[in-house]
Amino acid sequence: MKRQLRSNFPRGSYLWSVRNAHWRALGIPEEDCEKPKIAIVNSSSELAACFSHLDGIAKALKETIRAAGAVPFEIRTAAPSDFITGAGARGAYMLGARDLVTNDIEVAVEGAQLDGMICLTSCDKTVPGQLMAAARLNIPTIMVPCGYQASGEYKGKHVDIEEVFIGAMHAITGNMPVDELVGMSREAIRGPGVCSGLGTANSMHIVCEALGMALPGSAPVAANSAKMFADLRAAGERIVQMVWDDVKPRDILQPGAFANAVRCILAIGGSLNTVKHLQAVATEGKCNVDVYSLFETLGPQTPVLAGVRPIGDHTIEEFEAAGGARALMKQLESLLDTGVATVSGGSVADNLKSVAVANDEVIRPIGKPVAQQPAIVLLRGNLAPESGLTKTGIVERKQRSFTGPAICFWTTDEAIAALKNGTIKPGHVLVMRGAGVRGGPAMGGGASRVVFAVDGAGLGDQIAILTDGHLSGLVCKGLVVAELSPEAATGGPLALVQDGDTITIDLDTRRVDADLTDEQWQQRRAGWRAPVPSHDVGWLQQYRRNVGSLSQGAVLVRTDAT
C-alpha cells in the first residue's frame, strides 16, 4: 500500500479546490493531483555559461518524471556565478547568495508542500545552497550534477577560466599585455557548464556523490553529454520511488557520510570552500558533525590520489574517464564508512562492488599516491583560535615554515596599490583582513584577487599571505592561509595585528602565530573598535546581521541556534 503524500488534501477541501483550479489552468488533469509532486530545482540564468543549459535539462527531466508516474514542478532560485555576480559589492553577493538559494527553495517547496526534489547542480554556491535546503527540509532529494564546460586553446596552449583569472591579475601588475588577456578570454570557455578545473563547483559535485546524495557514477560529467542525460533520466525515475519509500536526506547525511566526503576532497586536493559548505549542510541537517575537525584529523591519514588541474597536470576530462568520484571512492574504500546509505537505495559498499578504475595513473591506489602529505591543511594558533585553512598542493614544499614582518591591509585596492608601488617586499607576511562573513560582508573583498596579483608581481614564493577571506576554489598559489577565524570584523586576533609584528606559519606543527605577549594582546584589544560595516543595505545587511560563524558553516542564525 502506498503511503499518504503530504501534498494531497481531501477532495473538495479549500486547499484541494484552489490547487485544482490553478493546476487545471496549467493543463494538469485532476487525477494528477493524487500523484507525487516533484520539485525540479533549476538555478538557471542567462548571465553566465554555468547555468545557460539548465532550462534544456529541466525540460528533459520533466518528461522522465511524468513517465515515472509523478508530476514535475519547476522552481527557480538565485543563480550566482563568481565571475559575474562578483562584480557588485566587492563580491559579497557570491557567498551571500548561497543562503538565498536555500531560502528560495524553502519558500517554494515547503510552502507548496511538495513531496520531493531533484536539484540541478551547477556553479559554486548553488550546489551547497541546494544541499543545505535538502538537509533543512528533509524531504526525498537527489542532486544531479549538470556538468563542466569545455575549455579552449590559445596560441597552442590549453586555456580555461582559471588562466583568465590569473592572467587578469598579471595584467594589473604589468606582467601580461592586455591584448594577450583579451585573446585568452575569447577562447577560455567553449560551451555551457561550470569551470573545467577542480574548483569549487566540480569539487562540490564530487561531494554530492561522496555524501550519497547523487547517484553513483554521476560526478564529474561533461555538460550536455550523453552520460549527463542518462544520469538525469535515472535520477528522474529514482526520485519517484524515493518519495514512495520516504527516503529522506537525514537518513543519508549521517556522520559517516560527511567523513567520506572529507576523505574524497582530501584525496583530490579539492576546493577549500568545501569545508564551510559541508559544515553548513551538517548544521542545516542538525547532524552533530564538526567538519573542520574532520579535515584536521583525517588530513594526515588521507593521501592525495589524483592530481587534477590546478593542483596537478591531469584534466577533469581525464578524471571523469578514469571513473570519476566512484573510482576515487573505490581506491579509498578501505578508509571509507561503506555502510552508510545513499540515494541509490544501496549502501556505499553496494555501489562500489563492481567498480573498476579505468586508469590508475589518473586515480591512483592508496599504495601509490600522488602525494603523501595532505593537500589541504587546517591550522590553529593565536591568530586562528578556531581555524585557518591552506591549500598546499601536491608538490613537496622545501620551505614548510615562514616567518616575517606583517604588512596589513583592510581592502583589496590598498593591497594591490602597495604591490604596484613596491611597498610589499620579499619576506613580508601580507595580512588581508576585513573580508570574513560579516566583514566582507559574505566574504566579499577579493582575497583571491590579491593572491593572484602577488603571483603576477612575481612574489608568490617570496611572501606569505594571511586573510579572513575565502579563496577561489581554483587558487593554489604560494603559502596562503585563508578563512582565519574568528574574523577581524568581530574582533578576532587578525584585527589586532599591526605592521611589523612577527608572524610565523608552520605547516608541520599546523600553527599560525603572532609573536605578541599577553600584555600586548590585552592592550590592543582594549583599544580596538569595530570597523564601520560596508555595503550595509538590502540583502547584504540582512546577511551580515544574521550570519553565524564559520565553525557552523556560516549559515544564517536561527532562533533555535545556540
Band of residue 184 on the pLDDT scale cut at 50, 70, 90: very high
Q: Could you tell me the domains of the chain? A: 37-150+191-352 (no CATH), 156-190 (no CATH), 376-529 (3.50.30.80)
Write out the catalytic residue numbers. 472
Instruction: Give backbone dihedrals phi and psi of 158, rounded to 5 degrees, phi first.
Output: -60, 140
Residue 34: how many other CB atoms lie within 10 Å: 13
Q: What is the pLDDT of residues 231-286, one digit of tens each?
A: 999 999 999 999 999 999 999 999 999 999 999 999 999 999 999 999 999 999 99
Per residue, what are the HEC states of 463-521? CEEEECCCCCCCCCCCEEEEEEECCHHHCCHHHHCCCCCEEEEECCCCEEEECCCHHHH
The x, y and z cell numbers of residue 331, run together, are 581506491
Output the nine-digit C-alpha cell for 445.
573583498
Amino acid identity of 146? C
Question: What's the half-sphere exposure (Cβ side, CA atoms, 13 Å) at 540?
Answer: 21
pLDDT at 558 over 80: no
Q: Which of helix, strand or coil describes residue 166?
A: helix
Q: What is the pLDDT of residues 495-549, one digit of tens each?
A: 999 999 999 999 999 999 999 999 999 999 999 999 999 899 999 999 999 999 9
Per-residue pLDDT at 476: 64
3-state secondary structure of 180: helix
pLDDT tens track for 346-402 = 999 999 999 999 999 999 999 999 998 899 999 999 999 999 999 988 877 767 899
- As given in the structure block, the three cell numbers for residue 396 are 613537496
pLDDT digits (tens, 9 = 90+) for 429-449: 999 999 999 999 999 878 888
| Joined grid coordinates for residue 218 | 554521476
Digit-coded pLDDT (tens) for 25-50: 999 999 898 999 999 999 999 999 99
Number of H helices, E strands in the chain: 21, 14
**Nearest-CA neighbor of 487 among 449, 524, 530, 430?**
530
Sequence-separated (6 or more) residues with CB below 8 Å from residue 397: 479, 507
Residue with cell string 520516504: 246
Q: Is the pLDDT of residue 559 over 60?
A: no
For residue 474, the model assigns a pLDDT of: 63
* pLDDT > 70: percent of the chain: 98
Q: Which of left, alpha, beta for 43 (phi over 0: left; psi -120 to 50: alpha)?
A: beta
